[in-house]
Each structure stands twice: as structure tokens, then as C-alpha cells.
Structure 1
Amino acid sequence: MTWNWEQPDWPHFSYDTQALEPLEREFLLRSGEFLGVFRHVSPDERDQLRIDLISEEALKTSAIEGEYLNRDSVQSSLRQQLGLGNDGKRIPPAERGIAEMMADVYLHFFDPFSDRTLFNWHKMLMTGERRVEVVGRYREHADAMQIVSNRLDEPRVHFEAPPSSRVRSEMDTFITWFNDTSPKGKVSLPALTRAGIAHLYFESIHPFEDGNGRIGRALSEKALAQNLGEPSLISLAWTIERHRKTYYRMLEISSRDNKITDWLVYFAETILEAQRVTLTRVEFSVAKAKFYERFRGQFNERQEKMIARMFREGIDGFKGGLSAENYIAITKTSRATATRDLQDLVAKKALTRIGERRHTRYFLNLADRFEVVQQN
């Protein structure tokens, strides 16, 4: 197998700009919509929304690599990093490291890119990691850097990166390219095109022993933020994680050639899907604030607890809707009391109800959820 970095035209990628133009326009349009909706969120809600969005990205970018972290710990660390308070909780190394990297991407997105940036990110990610020999430097081992799967006796090689001896020169060229294609660079590129190339280019070099995927996705976030002039807050890792097999398949296919139109279209469409997810989550936050304003002082303690729990479930809510059994279990009350509470919430139009008897399910009544978007 001949890889992209072994081709004579490496690292000069070719692609159809016309195929990307409508996607680039949609990205800029949706970015404006996001800013319009975000203005309707109160300052306190904005801070919490930032924590929610960034922590979700931290959790999902780790989950893509098979590492599952604690949400509360990641959020506690992010609050510290963003100057939003310190709850004094002990934060495990992995959660602290990914939170530090994500906060750095958010806070310093417009800083020029350098190998120092990468080395700092790598040190953050590898906090407490003892299996990696070289931390905060490019890989140095003589063995081939391969991505393999299947049985040890019959491995399938999905990709092989350039040897370690080439990494330094490859990364010098990559860093120069990244800075030159920024909005104020010598040969600036549109947002989606630049983010897509940056991710594939970086992953093709695979400069570190571990952490390349997480750093590569952070690079795409940095590229998007630089092109927008502010942190994008898009749910990129969240979206990739939901379609992980497609993501890995596209990376594998695209690592064999330097004609990358299919990769860039795929990655652009992934970013647009991530934008839609983020916009929906912001709308949900606005709707939550309006919901509590509308029903302030109208719920008893059990109802307050249940409503708060439903909002914590996020935009997807309880899978299949809230049941009476859910209500009883969460509020620790009797069936008769649960029935009265739920009927009262429906009568007040705080919840909507579908189904009958044991198939009855309840949902938050957020009918005006998209009103803000329609007004802009």
C-alpha cells in the first residue's frame, strides 16, 4: 500500500473548490444564526452553556478514542480554567488534562500556531499517562507508526504514518501551512476547507505516540474559530462520535491519495451537522430559561426536582418520554401522589402527555422553543 505522504505531490492536496462553495456559504449563514440566538441567553446561562458545550466536546473527543471520562470532573476543571469558580473537588488527571486543552483552544484560539502549542496540548492530554514514553515532544521510536485492527496474528493495517525521522520536518511544513492559510495569512483559505485539510494533514503525519486524534480535532476547532474570529463552540466531536465508523472509514480512504474532494465534502457536512446540533442546544437553553420564567413558583418540591431532572437529560430528554414509574423512582413518592403531580403539570401546560395507561409518557412543553430563531 502506498500512502498519501509517499506520493510525489505530498503535501499539496487537490480538490474541487466549487463542490465546497455552497457548504462554505451555509457555514457562515449558520454562524450568524448562532450568534443571533446566543444573544438571547442571559450572562449566567451563557457561562453554563459554554461549560456544557465544551465539556461535551471534551467527553466525546475522548470517547472516540475509547476513553470514557467523568462529566462532573471535566466540568469542575473547566470552571477553574475559565475563571468561573473552584468547587474544591479532586479532579482526576485525565479529566483535568482534557479540560485544560479544551480551555486553551477556547481562550487562545487566535494565537499563532506553533510546535509549542502542540507540545503543551500533548502534555495536558498525557497528564498521569505512564504508558507513553515521550510526552510533550514528537515521537522518536524507530518502529513504524501504524493504525491496526483485528487479531494480533492477522493484523489489518489501516494506515502507516511517516517514520519518526521525518516528523520534525513534516511538522515544520504543516505549521507554516496552518499559519499561512489563516484569515490574515499569505494564502488564506475558507473555514471548512482549512479545517478539513488541517485535520487530514495532521492525522497523516501522526506526530505523537498517542493523542493524535484528540489534538487533530482540536486543530479543526482552532481553525474554525480563527476563521470566524471567535470560538465556534460547535459540537464537532459530539457529531463525529455518533458516526464514528464513517469518520474512521473516510480517514482511511483519504490517507491513500492527495485528491481529497470527497474528504473535504464529508468533513464540511459533518461540521454543518455539528453546527445544527449546537444551535438546537442553544435554543434549548433559551427555552429552558423561558420555561422557568413562565412557571416560577408554580411547582411543588417534587415537581421541581422532576423538571430539573428532565432538563438535565438535555435536548433528547428521557428516551421514549417520562413515565409515572420514572417519576415515582426519582421523587421517592407514591403512585397516587405521582399521578396527581403529573396531572397538575399537564393541566398547567408544563408537560404534554401522549399514550394511555401504562403506555402514558410525558414531555416538557417547549412549544415556543424555536421562536428566537424565527425572529432573527
Structure 2
Amino acid sequence: MPWNWQHADWPNFNYDASAMLALEQRFLQASGELIGAVRHLSNDDSSQLRIELLSEEAIKTSEIEGEYLDRVSVQSSLRRQFGLTTDDRPVRPQERGIAQMMADVYRNWDRTLFHEELFNWHSMLMAGNRHLDTIGGYRRHEDAMQIVSGRLDKPTIHFEAPASLRVVREMDQFITWFNQSRPNGPFQLPALTRAAIGHLYFESIHPFEDGNGRIGRALAEKSLAQNVGQPSLISLAFTIEINRKAYYLALERHQRSLDIDGWMAYFSQTILEAQQATIDRTAFFIRKTKFYDRFRGKFNERQEKVVARIFREGIAGFKGGLSAENYISITGISRATATRDLQQLVEIGAFTRTGERRHTRYALYLQG
């Protein structure tokens, strides 16, 4: 069976636009909810939320490709990108590069797409890479661009992209489509429709030697931001990484045909889940901010350390709740001191307590 780009009608994708109407409406409604949630944040809180969401996206979009980054270094680099105070910790090129790209996507969401923007993103991502022939430009090698897995002597070919000689022509066509399909463009498309087609389209060209997944997801973020009319901060990579196998299977399945109803449904649902994840994480951030406002100056150093550790676990918190043993492990103190600390946290209303004796568990008390 030929690849999608080998079909005579490429790149004219076929899908049922009517099936997208309800999904598009859900996206617009949730976009309004998210905009409303952050409207009343202070400038400092808004900046911190932006750093937290962008750093999580940077880390997760890299993890999808099997690259694991240091969270603190990524956040430090992002803070530097936005002119915020930070420390002078050393940051590896890959952490600095992904932070630069995420900041650029955020700041320049409304900018018309050009080849040069993609080249800049690629240069940022590949800073320090000594294994690629071309950095900051489209691939030029003569070998087939294939996505493979399995044994070297018996590989499984999941996809083969157009030959390098075709890439510039294909990307000229893609960039024209991207710019003309934006709001107020001559062939404007709704948000989910445009992002879904754009991501599959770009990944099927696979124009770079490496970094196509990360750049393709950045383009989806740019596309959504343009349709919403402001930076989206949608947790797309965060959501994809939870079930990356489904993401790769969906791409592989729909890179052999121009009939993409299944892809449209999958990617649209993924965006909606990512949007809800952003809404949930924003609400959690706001509750965390209010929590610290209520208890500022009321915790000792040990309690501060434990509270910060629980917040790092995110919305779910400690699996099964915080135990006295967890508290002792984090702080390195005696059981008697841990018991007094925990009791005080319950008494002042910072923690809730459930269970008895060895089944006693504690959780943060976060008001809505």
C-alpha cells in the first residue's frame, strides 16, 4: 500500500467536516473557560503559571522522543527567556534549546509562518548535536527518510517520507496551506480541523533529519493559538505522552491514506483532553497560590519542605496520601517530631487527616 504522499491527490485530505462541528464547539467553549480562569491572576502569578505549563510541555514533548531533561534547568532557562529572575545554574544545550523554542512559539504565535521560523526552531532544538548533517535547514541526504523499529537485520518500516529532493517544494506548499488556513485567511479552517490536518501533513513530509515530532507539535500549538487569538498553553505534549503508543499508532495508520476521519477524531479528542488538562492544572495552580497566601509564615522549615514536595506531585498528590513514614523520609526527623509537625498542620487547617494508626494519611486542604 502506498504512503499518503504517493497518492495522486496528495495533499488533499478527505474527512467529514460535519463530524467535527460538535468537537469544534466544545473547544471554543473550553477556550473561554480557560481565558476566564487566568484573567484575575496577578502578573507574578501569571508568569509563574506560564513557566510551569511551558516547562511541562518542553519536558513532555522531549520525552515522547525518548529524551529526558532536567525540570529545574528547563524552568531556569525559560525564566531567562522571559526576563524573569533566575539563578546562574549551568544548563545543557538541549534544555536551553527546547526552552528557547517554547518561548518563541509563545511570544510569536500570531506571526506568519516562514521557512526561517522553522529553521530557527530546528537550530534551537539541535544545539550541541554533532551527529546531523544539516542543522537549521531541511534534510538533504540521499538516503530514504524512514521511521523504523526492530532488529537492524530485520527492521519494521513504520513510515517512509518523501525524498529529500522533494522537501523544499513540499514545505513551500505546506507553509502556503498553513498561512491561508488561519483565521481571516482565504481558506480559513476551524481550530481543531486545522491543527489536526496540519500536524499529520507536516509529519508526513518529515522535513528535518531530526526534531520533526517536537517541531510538529509546536506547529499545532501555534495553529491553535492563532485560532483562539492568544497563546493557548494547551497541554498537548503532556496529554500525548500519557499514551504515546496510541499517538504513534494513529500517525502510522493514517499516513497510508488521504481519508483521515479516524485521525481527525483521534487528534481532536487529544486536543480536547489536553485543553481540559490545562484547565485542571490552572485551577490547581490557583488553589496552590491561595494555599500559600493563607499559610504564609505559619510553617517551619520541615513543613515547608514537605508541602513543596507534595505540590511537586501535581494534582494527584501522593498516591494513597501522605503517611508519617513519608514525612520522616522527606525530612529525616524522628517519629515524635513528625507526629507533632503533622498534628500542627491539621490543627491550622493546612492538612486533612483520614484513617487511624498505621493507616493514617494526610492531604493538603485546598480550597476552591
Which deviates the most, 311-320 or 183-192?
311-320
Which residue number in structure 2 is paired with residue 301 of structure 1?
Answer: 301
Contact kept? 1:41, 1:285, Cα under 8 Å: no
Contact kept? 1:161, 1:204, Cα under 8 Å: yes
Q: 5 Å matches for 1:161-176?
A: 161-176=161-176
RMSD of aligned alpha carbons? 1.2
1:100 pairs with 2:100: yes
Q: What is the percentage of aligned positions where both structures have the same residue?
A: 64
- CA shift, 1:12, in A, is 0.4
In 1, the alpha carbon distance for the partners of 2:335 and 2:6 equals: 68
In 2, the alpha carbon distance for the partners of 1:303 and 1:142 equals: 60
Which residue number in structure 1 is paired with residue 251 of structure 2?
Answer: 251
Q: Gapped runs of 5+ residues in structure 1?
A: 370-376
In 2, the alpha carbon distance for the partners of 1:62 and 1:229 equals: 26
Contact kept? 1:144, 1:160, Cα under 8 Å: yes
Segments ≥4 residues shifted beyond 4 Å = none
How high is the TM-score relative to the length of structure 2? 0.97
Which residue number in structure 2 is paired with residue 202 of structure 1?
Answer: 202
In 2, the alpha carbon distance for the partners of 1:108 and 1:296 equals: 37
In 2, the alpha carbon distance for the partners of 1:197 and 1:286 equals: 34
1:11 pairs with 2:11: yes
The alignment partner of 1:290 has SS state of helix
1:180 pairs with 2:180: yes
The alignment partner of 1:167 has SS state of helix
In 2, the alpha carbon distance for the partners of 1:69 and 1:254 equals: 30
Q: 5 Å matches for 1:59-70?
A: 59-70=59-70
In 2, the alpha carbon distance for the partners of 1:198 and 1:81 equals: 27
In 1, the alpha carbon distance for the partners of 2:193 and 2:355 equals: 47
Which residue number in structure 2 is paired with residue 22 of structure 1?
Answer: 22
Which deviates the most, 22-31 or 331-340?
331-340
Q: 5 Å matches for 1:116-195?
A: 116-195=116-195
Which residue number in structure 1 is paired with residue 213 of structure 2?
Answer: 213
- CA shift, 1:293, in A, is 2.5
Structure 1 residue identity aligned to 2:345: L
Structure 1 residue identity aligned to 2:82: L
Structure 2 residue identity aligned to 1:179: N
Structure 2 residue identity aligned to 1:327: Y
- CA shift, 1:361, in A, is 1.7
Which residue number in structure 1 is paired with residue 337 of structure 2?
Answer: 337
- CA shift, 1:333, in A, is 1.6
Contact kept? 1:40, 1:286, Cα under 8 Å: no
Structure 1 residue identity aligned to 2:243: H
- CA shift, 1:328, in A, is 1.1
1:45 pairs with 2:42: no
Corresponding residue pairs, total: 368
In 2, the alpha carbon distance for the partners of 1:50 and 1:179 equals: 26
Structure 2 residue identity aligned to 1:150: G
Structure 2 residue identity aligned to 1:61: T
Structure 1 residue identity aligned to 2:289: A
Q: 5 Å matches for 1:82-97?
A: 82-97=82-97
The alignment partner of 1:155 has SS state of strand
The alignment partner of 1:150 has SS state of strand
- CA shift, 1:86, in A, is 4.3
